[in-house]
Amino acid sequence: MITTNTLFKTLGINNKNLLSVVNATGISKETLKYYNDSKKIPIGRDLEKICDFFQISPNYLKLRLGFLDNSILDVLSSETECLKKLFPYQPFVLNKGCPTPSFQTKLGKLYKQDCISFLKTIEDNSFDVIFADPPFNLNKLYPSKMNDSLKEEEYIAWQEEWVYECIRVLKPGGSFFIWNLPRWNTYLTPLLNSHLTFKHWISVDVKYSLPIPGRLYPSHYSLLYYIKGAKANTFHPDRLPMEICPNCQTDLRDYGGYKDKMNPLGVNLSDVWYDIPPVRHSKYKKRKGANELSLKLLDRIIEMSSNEGDIIFDPFGGSGTTYIVAELKNRSWVGTEIGPLEDIINRFSVLDEEKEYLQNIRAKLNCLFTEKDLKTRAKLGLWTPESVRKKKELANSLFDN
């Protein structure tokens, strides 16, 4: 939720009378301008002073600014009869006629279409998993030439629209993932929390900009993870290999006496992912320009939240990473993309390359050490689950004797 009206417009403040508001309230011009320009709601004494001057209540001001908190909602929900005429009954209409896909595979259908108009043709409860990586409103030039520099409130309103539709078409027990900058994902949580069950806010460690003066170094993307209903139909996260030095294979952490307690199938997946590579090198990029996600990220998400035969929807095709991974993992998939589809279609013609890459990724999962690392560690005399087990057996037998 974001406030939509500016303070000055709401209260009729303009260049001519601004100074009198400053004098009467004692709030500096800079502070008033900050509230106005950044669309922040005044709080504490500032709120009181503004309300005293304009002779209005704080809740009325908040409402006029387009902000709803619980105290306002309480009042509104006790006055629903008065509000009824503002919200007349309108029958629900699902757009008729399923569009024709522009590209089809054994398992998937891709539509060259705006995702919201497409979603409006889809029945409730249709998809097992939805993954969405929307444009970030960073003024990037996409092949579709779409406007990636909307006003903040326009971008948030647009996001709420497609998110709402995605929630509707997600099956009960299905999983919904949204990939975005942390800042934008914070705005979506009230809507998501109203309809779905929060599962995780996953931080994916990727350095995506240079350090910015006056700010912490932005180093993670937010991956929101919600479930429709109380419990996920499917949840089988991969286990990861133990982190070791890539050069000398030694432990990066001291596991001390706990080595024998470590699961030989690997370490539990946490909600901070450090091992997702950005797809930066042009050699590996499937389309010119940024915004292609790593196959490894989609492999992890799809593996965790779906089974073979499930149906996955991604509203923002881009270069088709979700569709490629779904196809390789025997999931059905549906996608929309407003821009050119060539990059996605071409990718399906070299599916074997992608398959090999994915197989290499998966070969390193669900084990404490890879086969290769096990051999090297044994050669270097470093501990392995086998050596820890033998040592324990020896100690037990000495103790028994």
Ligand X SMILES: C[S@@+](CC[C@H](N)C(=O)[O-])C[C@H]1O[C@@H](n2cnc3c(N)ncnc32)[C@H](O)[C@@H]1O
**Nearest distance from C-beta of residue 319 to ligand X, angstroms:** 4
Nearer to ligand X, 173 or 339 (CB): 339
CB closer to ligand X out of 133 and 310: 133
Asked if residue 266 binds ligand X (CB under 6 A), the reply is no
Q: What string marks each residue from 94 to 123 as x (binds ligand X by CB under 6 A) or -? A: --------------------xx--------
Which residues 339-358 are close enough to bind ligand X by CB under 6 A? 339
Of the candidate spans 20-28, 83-91, 166-174, 311-319, the one that interacts with ligand X by CB under 6 A turns out to be 311-319
> What's at 257, amino acid-wise?
G
Q: Which is nearer to ligand X, 36 or 222 (CB)?
A: 222
Strands 108-111 and 332-336: parallel
CA-CA-CA-CA torsion sign (187, 188, 189, 195): positive
User: Read out DSSP for 149-211?
Assistant: ---HHHHHHHHHHHHHHHHHHEEEEEEEEEEE-HHHHHHHHHHHHHHSEEEEEEEEE---S--
The radius of gyration of the chain from alpha carbons, rounded to an integer in Å, stands at 27
Question: Of 115 and 232, which CB lies nearer to ligand X in the complex structure?
Answer: 115
Q: How far is the CB of 326 from ligand X (least distance, A)?
A: 12
Determine the interface stretch with ligand X among 21-29, 40-48, 315-323, 360-368 (rule: CB under 6 A). 315-323
275 scored as a contact of ligand X (CB under 6 A): no
For residue 186, the minimal CB distance to ligand X (Å) is: 19
Cβ neighbours, 10 Å, residue 34: 13
Closer by beta carbon to ligand X, 10 or else 117: 117
For ligand X, the closer of residues 174 and 315 by Cβ is: 315
**Sequence-separated (6 or more) residues with CB below 8 Å from residue 101:** 109, 110, 111
Q: Is 337 in the site for ligand X (CB under 6 A)?
A: yes
Backbone angles phi, psi at 84, to 5 degrees: -55, -40
Residue from the set 127, 155, 177, 316 that interacts with ligand X by CB under 6 A: 316
Q: Select 115 or 367, whichever has its Cβ closest to ligand X.
A: 115
Which residues neighbour 244 within 8 Å (Cβ) at sequence distance 6 or greater? Answer: 250, 251, 252, 369, 373, 377
Give min distance, CB of 335 to ligand X, in A: 9
Starting at the edge strand that comes first in sequence, how are the strands of the sheet with 103-104 ordered?
A: 103-104, 108-111, 332-336, 311-314, 127-132, 170-180, 220-227, 197-205, 272-273
Chain positions 136 to 165 lying near ligand X, rule: CB under 6 A, are 142, 144, 146
Segment interacting with ligand X, rule: CB under 6 A, options 78-86, 191-199, 233-241, 336-344? 336-344
Q: For tokens 């010119």, name the residue.
A: 288
Per CB under 6 A, which region of 54-62, 120-128, 199-207, 313-321 contacts ligand X?
Answer: 313-321
315 forms part of the interface with ligand X (CB under 6 A): yes
Cβ-proximal residues to 333 (8 Å cutoff; 6+ apart), any chain? 107, 108, 109, 311, 312, 313, 314, 322, 323, 326, 327
Q: Check binding of 305 to ligand X (CB under 6 A).
A: no
Binds ligand X by CB under 6 A, chosen from 108, 135, 174, 266: 135
Cα–Cα distance between 102 and 345 in angstroms, integer? 10
Cβ count near 341 (within 10 Å): 18
> Which residue ranges make up the site for ligand X (CB under 6 A)?
114-115, 133, 135, 142, 144, 146, 291-293, 315-316, 318-319, 321, 336-339
